[in-house]
Chains A and B, each alone.
Chain A
């Protein structure tokens, strides 16, 4: 049994989500290969070769793979899929975009957002916004899986010494092209893998006032998150959204400030180790999942917290 993990990276650095995905592959058992597809991605291939538990790095370096367009990447993966029993990618927007395409081309029903490996064909994954956990057995010959990164502790970035093999790439699909990217730049830790996440909701009230959430995050060295309402209202960019249809996080500390605690928000944070809620409404559902609740006006409590920490 040999497993292929699709690396998520930006052509210079491997993303943490890849390490969680390798951890899931290890739980399945067997030899693990990793595919690094991109343009001028040699550095990433080297990083991948150092990851603990990898035996071979497949490197596909070509201009049309630079932006990981789903059409180009899925064709490459399928071309190289023969010898693999399982193909895994992180359940990030990267993996969600490309893997169902791979699955369909292989005539396989994908399992999305695996949180636990029971055995080589049986997996647990959340459904209904995490309100239920389904245990499913795949009857397909190959398994195509996306991995919920919060379900698996990252493997070490070093300790491995895999060989790097250049593979022949497929050609560009031609009907889609990259135009531009607007990256949200931040000095803060990445939301998906941060140890501390401070999130603000509609209660914060404005883009200007959201600064106090950011100040608190900076004081604690954490990442900033938000509810859908805060994103929709334009307080913060879209990629801050935590929830069923946004990012799923499970930090050591999650603070929900001015967030009511809708089912869709809880889906993205309820596996955090310690949850703090600050809300002026003592009936807010967020208090039902919070380890520590503070019923207060956030405009009093947050500045006081920043001062006293």
Chain B
């Protein structure tokens, strides 16, 4: 079984975001970037499937700038066998390559690579779209299992437990299928130094969107990116009694 894992280079989850003063976007120069956390979970899951003998090859794919090669190398240090970068200078967070374009790119690659399974993140923590996996499944005419917290591969099927608003739902999808990861699927490992070294030697192809025949022109015009409304600083109360008094008599949120 061949698994394809799309991995995105995104702002590190610990970074506090600053909106640019001209409201054109958020400040990304000299900001720490990492692999989107949900994609780490995806590559970990694929690696586990390979370690248990259920998968034979893992291909990591990223759409982004030259720097996204680092993200692919990280995926290789965890377990990907080879990588493909679809190189673009367009931003991948806002006003550039949008989920629909990413899905079309991945579809073109999937038609060449014919994987049996695609495991990807449920959401990028920069654009917060939560769209690409579902779009890709639709374009391919494949079934989808989103927000996975458990994946079991059985002959020609994936049985997936999904984190939904009301609890946990289990569905069964025929492969090939798209699976998107939720937080509880696994805990990604730290890549070991030897594996980081080995990753440097694994094959990484760099191609262009034109070679795949996909069009990256955005459909959404980003008119402005602004700061959210700031909350007024509150007060520190010194006792439970004072807190109850404030909630009853000042905020009037309890009876």
Residues of A with Cβ closer than 8 Å to B?
A: 10, 67, 69-71, 74, 92-94, 96-105, 107-113, 122, 126-140, 173, 175-184, 192, 196, 220, 228, 231-232, 237-239, 241, 244-245, 247, 252-253, 263-264, 270, 273-276, 282, 287-296, 301, 304-305, 308-309
A74, A101, A220 — most chain B CB neighbours (10 Å): A101
Residues of A within 8 A of B218 (CB): 109
CB distance B251 to A253 under 8 Å?
A: yes
CB distance A135 to B103 under 8 Å?
A: no
CB distance B167 to A264 under 8 Å?
A: no
From A74, A97, A231, contact of B184 by CB (8 A): A231
From B98, B129, B167, contact of A237 by CB (8 A): B167
The 3 nearest A-B residue pairs measured at CB: A100-B134, A109-B219, A104-B135
> Given A131-B228, A292-B235, A245 and B99 touching (CB < 8 A)?
no
Residues of A within 8 A of B164 (CB): 93-94, 97, 239
CB distance A129 to B125 under 8 Å?
A: yes
Given contacts A101-B135, A104-B135, 9 further A-B contacts (CB under 8 A): A70-B144, A104-B103, A113-B128, A132-B226, A175-B173, A181-B167, A238-B149, A239-B164, A274-B247
Verify if B200 is at the interface (C-beta below 8 Å from A). no
CB distance B227 to A133 under 8 Å?
A: yes
CB distance A127 to B138 under 8 Å?
A: no
Interface class of chain A by DSSP:
mixed
User: In the complex, which residue of chain A has the Cβ closest to the Cβ of B142?
Assistant: A175
Residues of A within 8 A of B44 (CB): none
For this complex, 18 residue pairs linking A to B, each with C-beta atoms less than 8 Å apart, are: A69-B171, A93-B162, A97-B164, A101-B137, A101-B138, A109-B98, A109-B219, A127-B225, A128-B93, A133-B226, A139-B219, A182-B169, A183-B166, A183-B167, A245-B123, A273-B251, A282-B236, A305-B244
CA–CA, A289 to B225, complex, Å?
22
- Taking the nearest CB of chain B, how far is it from the CB of A285, in angstroms? 10
Residues of B with Cβ closer than 8 Å to A?
A: 11, 13, 16-17, 19, 26, 38, 93-94, 98-100, 103, 122-123, 125-139, 142-147, 149, 159, 162-174, 177, 182-184, 218-228, 231-237, 239-241, 243-244, 246-247, 251, 253-254
From B139, B165, B228, contact of A104 by CB (8 A): B139
CB distance B134 to A184 under 8 Å?
A: no
Residues of B within 8 A of A228 (CB): 183
Residues of A within 8 A of B134 (CB): 70, 96-101, 104
CB distance B247 to A276 under 8 Å?
A: yes
CB distance B138 to A308 under 8 Å?
A: no
- Taking the nearest CB of chain A, how far is it from the CB of B179, in angstroms? 12
CB distance A293 to B227 under 8 Å?
A: no
CB distance B225 to A109 under 8 Å?
A: no
- Taking the nearest CB of chain A, how far is it from the CB of B141, in angstroms? 9
Residues of A within 8 A of B122 (CB): 245
User: In the complex, which residue of chain A has the Cβ closest to the Cβ of B233?
Assistant: A288
Residues of B within 8 A of A113 (CB): 128
> Given A74-B138, A290-B234, A293-B236, A128 and B171 touching (CB < 8 A)?
no
- Taking the nearest CB of chain B, how far is it from the CB of A5, in angstroms? 18
CA–CA, A99 to B100, complex, Å?
12
- Taking the nearest CB of chain B, how far is it from the CB of A238, in angstroms? 5
> Given A274-B251, A291-B234, A177 and B171 touching (CB < 8 A)?
yes
Residues of A within 8 A of B182 (CB): 238, 245
CB distance A100 to B130 under 8 Å?
A: yes
CB distance B184 to A291 under 8 Å?
A: no
CB distance B234 to A96 under 8 Å?
A: no
User: In the complex, which residue of chain B has the Cβ closest to the Cβ of A107?
Assistant: B100
Residues of A within 8 A of B246 (CB): 292
Residues of A within 8 A of B165 (CB): 92-94, 192, 239, 247
- Taking the nearest CB of chain A, how far is it from the CB of B180, in angstroms? 9
- Taking the nearest CB of chain B, how far is it from the CB of A140, in angstroms? 5
- Taking the nearest CB of chain B, how far is it from the CB of A280, in angstroms? 13
Residues of A within 8 A of B224 (CB): 134-135
Residues of A within 8 A of B239 (CB): 294
> Given A104-B134, A138-B219, A177 and B172 touching (CB < 8 A)?
yes
CA–CA, A305 to B254, complex, Å?
12
Residues of B within 8 A of A220 (CB): 254
CB distance A108 to B220 under 8 Å?
A: no
Residues of B within 8 A of A105 (CB): 138
From A74, A128, A241, A274, contact of B17 by CB (8 A): A128
User: In the complex, which residue of chain B has the Cβ closest to the Cβ of A231?
Assistant: B184
> Given A109-B218, A232-B184, A294-B243, A122 and B227 touching (CB < 8 A)?
no
B38, B133, B168, B169 — most chain A CB neighbours (10 Å): B169
CA–CA, A282 to B236, complex, Å?
9
- Taking the nearest CB of chain A, how far is it from the CB of B199, in angstroms? 27
> Given A133-B228, A177-B172, A127 and B100 touching (CB < 8 A)?
no
- Taking the nearest CB of chain A, how far is it from the CB of B117, in angstroms? 13
CB distance B171 to A135 under 8 Å?
A: no
Residues of B within 8 A of A132 (CB): 17, 19, 26, 225-228
CA–CA, A112 to B142, complex, Å?
22
User: In the complex, which residue of chain B has the Cβ closest to the Cβ of A252?
Assistant: B253
